[in-house]
A and B are shown apart, each in its own frame.
Chain A
Amino acid sequence: MDDPVSRIDSEFTSLPLRELADAALTQAKALGAQHADFRLERIRQQQLKLSDTSLQRLFDADDSGLALRVIVDGTWGFASTVDLTPEAAAKAARQAVEVANVAAAVNTEPIELAPEPGYGDVTWVSSYEIDPLEVPAADKIALLTEWSRQLLAHNAVSHVDASLDQVRECKFYSDGSTTAIQQRVRIHPWLTAVAVTDDGLFDTMRTLAPPAGRGYEYLTGAGWDFAAELAELPELLVAKLSAPSVKAGRYDLVIDPTNLWLTIHESIGHATELDRALGYEAAYAGTSFATLDKLNQLQYGSPVMHVTGDRTAEHGLATMGYDDEGVAGQSWDLITDGVLTGYQLDRRMALLNGFGRSNGCAFADSPSHMPLQRMANVSLHAAAGGPSTAGLIAGVQDGIYIAGDKSWSIDMQRYNFQFTGQRFFKITNGRLDGQLRDVAYQATTTDFWNSVEALGGPQTYLLGGAFNCGKGQPGQIAPVSHGCPAVLLRGIRILNTAEEGAA
């Protein structure tokens, strides 16, 4: 493979990055800022969408801009612009200082940042082989068309939606002591088969392939077997349509990583964000039941659980060399032996709450937004030498095996959640016994995780994730991955969604 540094978008590296940073940082310091950091980003995206093999959307976006964040007399100020000239950079610095002056009327806590070593000039590139934005759109459309045709060829499939989202993100950061140039690539392909019966019943079955911090090679064999998944999709849909409706009640569950990643995201990932625990998101995304007084006390889940946050997992969507405050990527414990042992931090919160150093979770989704504490890859470790998924299923008399995510909702303190899925299989006497319909599981976070009896082994581990985790006002999105094994839980409440909807 090429030298990673040489793979960074040359149009990006040829911009006058250091000259613009210097213009902004110098102006900010001259106006009295105690701290100033500068970002310049270029984000290239392409969206492809096919509807029944016809091209519905071919959209290319190319967003660039610069941003300056300052602390003036203990108050934040932030400004950004799309004009990449030294004059515009200096103007952004003046605007950021003006914002700090207006905002001082509502600021009562002086802003200070936890120390972080300076790293000098550093470069980081994510792990991928083929930049998907360099592959001709026609090739990508041809592949999606062929996959859609395969699905439509089945007589039970009425419609097929196919999508491919691709992003290349280039980021320049400078605070005077660290100057980082970074590039990461991500890709998300998904197909949905739709069946509509003559009597008006309809249902869907979606591919389970997660979005990944990989390149175009992901579509041609690296990391996922699309041919195998597409081959089984129509018959799975047929079986789902004719499946019996679930009887509401309590069941033992075996949950596949393709479903459980989202439950981890909502009930552990967000709940261990320190800004939520401190109330910074109280009016919007919400707070967390896992407040600071519960650190090292709360039995979050079963003692078999070990959950970490990281910026380091290969192909992880939240993996990065340095965050938007110049903090180097790390891996750390959030839940150890089932007990809450850590949080996700930025530099302000780390200092304010006695954590010493930030673990590198400050990110903005674009140059036009101020960094917030955003989610790391939050992952549940597999049991060394643990069983296969079939081994977990073998331990269930009367239960349900759930694969693939679909509907999700959780309350503003991360207690009560409800999830559905793509595929529900009845488990009878340790074996799969056909599909079920109308299934949702509903629980309180700590009850749910304390019901975990066993974890699958590393052979069941998968990195799931999403491109678009939302947080903050103004709203920001962030890509994030969650790894986990298959998991066996006892006695979880199952709803029948058809009964829930009946008037």
Chain B
Amino acid sequence: MTPQETVERALAASGSDDCVAIADEKSTANLRWAGNTLTTNGVSSSRQLTVIAVARRADGVRVGVVSRAGVRDDQIDDVVRAAEDAAAGAPPAEDAAEIPGADNHRPFVGNWDSPSGATDISVLRDFATALGEIMRGAQTSGRKLYGFAEHQLTSTFLGTSAGLRARHDQPAGRVELNAKSADLARSAWTGAATRDFADVDIAALDAGLAERLDWAKRTVSLEPGRYETLLPPTAVADLLIYLYWSAGAKETAEGRTVFSKPGGGTRIGERLSPLPVTLASDPAAPGLGCAPFVIAHASGDDLSVFDNGLPLSRTEWIRAGELSALPSSRYSARLAGLPAMTPEIDNLTFSAAESAGTLESMIASTRRGLLVTCLWYIREVDPQTLLLTGLTRDGVYLVENGEVTGAVNNFRFNESPVGMLGRLGEVGATGPTLPREWGDYFTRAAMPPIRVDGFNMSSVSQAS
């Protein structure tokens, strides 16, 4: 049975007041290497059916959600019954709402009927050959290469008993490359997101790392302290993704986030940065395309299974330096007193109007500062200020009088991305980047390099 037929069969089998069926087809292929040789690899294919059964009773709306992998045709009815049983035994759902119907049909129905595709190891065949060549080169020149390449294709088919049919195909890929000197004392990293691997130039990525390893031939020990710091796009992405994840409307309205207003309400409308920066998500962002409708396999603080299929459009979370929206479901938007729901969207861009600077031009205009390669092990220390801690990784460089003059020891930082927005010294031109830390969950980002005044490097890490 096709995923489309599975959705229709589940909806037809439903005896509840409302029903949502989501069929996901996912295929993946990956290669992983370390020390100039393969470590793991694999291909997998999976198929999942999620049924959301809604029972509308006088004393409240109840919902049950059951998700099952590898469902055979003769098991679809079992999944529907299990969801209905779960709904029957549940107390009322806090986020109950109308299920989206045929009104939301038109924007998505276009390719509903076409077959879903799949990826397999062949997408990595040319890449593996090129990688094998640069590994042999690295071996000859005394470098060790580590990394990972992965391609995924997920097709999601969503139907509701109110007549909505929506489908989304999401290709996603990434390559990460880490080069180390033979004694492992010097390390450099780069990564790229890709939709199909056709645009991945592994030799160029490798050449960039070789330059950075050369920068690190001179080392400088620096004490902890607050430094003028240049953060590249990947590091900016990792800090701002955490901010995005910490800005939910529900907890903000409850007074529990950095965006809560003392005494009640939210800080929407407050200035966060002196520069006219914009943090936004857009399902149609060029090269970063993602689902243009809500896909919710389970409810959470700002995600509701009742919103499945509602359309998504460009949302500016920060506009011209001011907080302008918070991720929300219909339910949490109402709780927070927001005019309309603005659900989380699966990409993030950050930019400042008319910024043209590159990392290179920002280095050239730096009298003394640090240049970071990427950040790692980022965790929240204090939600009141959104203080985050983490490490610099795979190269911190000292910039003096417009030039990189050597590599510096790694640091543990303690910084808030909200506080950082208030201390932005410069924002460069925005371009696509792979978030180093959150790339497992979040690969679609476009970020600029930034200059931050007084970035808090709290202690030295001996890691190299």
Q: Does A394 sit within 8 A of B, measured CB to CB?
A: no
Binds A, one of B212-220, B235-243, B454-462: B454-462
Q: Are B41 and A500 in contact (CB under 8 A)?
A: no
Q: How far is the CB of B154 from chain A (nearest CB, A)?
A: 13
Residues of B contacting A413 in the complex (Cβ-Cβ under 8 angstroms): 462-464
Q: Does A416 sit within 8 A of B, measured CB to CB?
A: yes
Q: Are A78 and B42 in contact (CB under 8 A)?
A: yes
- Contact among B47, B82, B387 with A500 in the assembled complex (CB-CB below 8 Å): B387
Q: How far is the CB of B231 from chain A (nearest CB, A)?
A: 16
Q: Does A107 sit within 8 A of B, measured CB to CB?
A: yes
In the complex, per-residue mask of A106-139: 1 if CB is within 8 Å of any chain B CB, else 0: 1111000000000000000000000000001110
Q: Does B89 sit within 8 A of A, measured CB to CB?
A: yes
Whole-angstrom CA separation of A282 from B185 in the bound complex? 12
**Interface size in chain B (residues, C-beta < 8 A):** 106
Beta-carbon nearest neighbor of A44 in chain B: B68
Whole-angstrom CA separation of A411 from B48 in the bound complex? 37
Q: How far is the CB of A406 from chain B (nearest CB, A)?
A: 9
- Contact among A141, A409, A473 with B389 in the assembled complex (CB-CB below 8 Å): A409
Whole-angstrom CA separation of A369 from B41 in the bound complex? 9
Q: Are B412 and A411 in contact (CB under 8 A)?
A: yes
Residues of A contacting B121 in the complex (Cβ-Cβ under 8 angstroms): 95, 98-99, 102
Known interface pairs A202-B255, A289-B462, A501-B385; A102-B125 also in contact (CB < 8 Å): yes
In the complex, per-residue mask of B117-160: 1 if CB is within 8 Å of any chain A CB, else 0: 00011101100110110010000000010111010000000000
- Interface centre among A58, A194, A199, by most chain B C-beta atoms within 10 angstroms, is A58
A interface, over-half SS: mixed
Q: Are A283 and B176 in contact (CB under 8 A)?
A: yes
In the complex, per-residue mask of A396-422: 1 if CB is within 8 Å of any chain B CB, else 0: 000000000001111111111010100
Q: How far is the CB of B13 from chain A (nearest CB, A)?
A: 17
Q: Does B56 sit within 8 A of A, measured CB to CB?
A: no
Which of B164-201 touch A at CB < 8 Å?
Answer: 176-178, 180, 184, 187, 189
Q: Does B299 sit within 8 A of A, measured CB to CB?
A: yes
Q: Are A63 and B69 in contact (CB under 8 A)?
A: yes
Q: Does A207 sit within 8 A of B, measured CB to CB?
A: no
Q: Does A424 sit within 8 A of B, measured CB to CB?
A: no
Q: Are A199 and B263 in contact (CB under 8 A)?
A: yes
- Contact among A418, A440, A500 with B456 in the assembled complex (CB-CB below 8 Å): A500
Binds B, one of A49-57, A297-305, A332-340, A425-433: A49-57
Q: Are A503 and B454 in contact (CB under 8 A)?
A: yes
Q: Does B360 sit within 8 A of A, measured CB to CB?
A: no
Which of A470-503 touch B at CB < 8 Å?
Answer: 472-475, 495, 497-498, 500-501, 503
Residues of A contacting B82 in the complex (Cβ-Cβ under 8 angstroms): 60
Whole-angstrom CA separation of A165 from B257 in the bound complex? 25
Q: Does B380 sit within 8 A of A, measured CB to CB?
A: yes
Residues of A contacting B91 in the complex (Cβ-Cβ under 8 angstroms): 54-55, 141, 145
Binds B, one of A81-89, A315-323, A378-386: A81-89
Q: Does B5 sit within 8 A of A, measured CB to CB?
A: no
Q: How far is the CB of A270 from chain B (nearest CB, A)?
A: 11
Known interface pairs A138-B89, A141-B91; A412-B176 also in contact (CB < 8 Å): no
Which of B441-460 touch A at CB < 8 Å?
Answer: 454, 456, 458-460
Interface residues of A (CB under 8 A from B): 47, 49, 51, 54-65, 67, 75-84, 95, 98-100, 102-103, 105-109, 136-138, 141, 145, 158-159, 194, 196, 198-203, 278-284, 286-287, 289, 368-370, 372, 407-416, 418, 420, 438, 440, 442, 444, 472-475, 495, 497-498, 500-501, 503
> What are 19 inter-chain pairs, A to B, with CB distance below 8 A?
A51-B250, A60-B65, A60-B86, A63-B68, A67-B44, A76-B38, A80-B42, A80-B44, A278-B35, A279-B35, A283-B178, A284-B148, A287-B184, A370-B41, A409-B378, A412-B393, A415-B462, A473-B150, A503-B423
Interface residues of B (CB under 8 A from A): 28-48, 63-70, 82, 86, 89-95, 120-122, 124-125, 128-129, 131-132, 135, 144, 146-148, 150, 176-178, 180, 184, 187, 189, 250, 254-256, 260-263, 297-301, 376-385, 387, 389-391, 393, 410, 412, 414-416, 419, 422-423, 440, 454, 456, 458-464
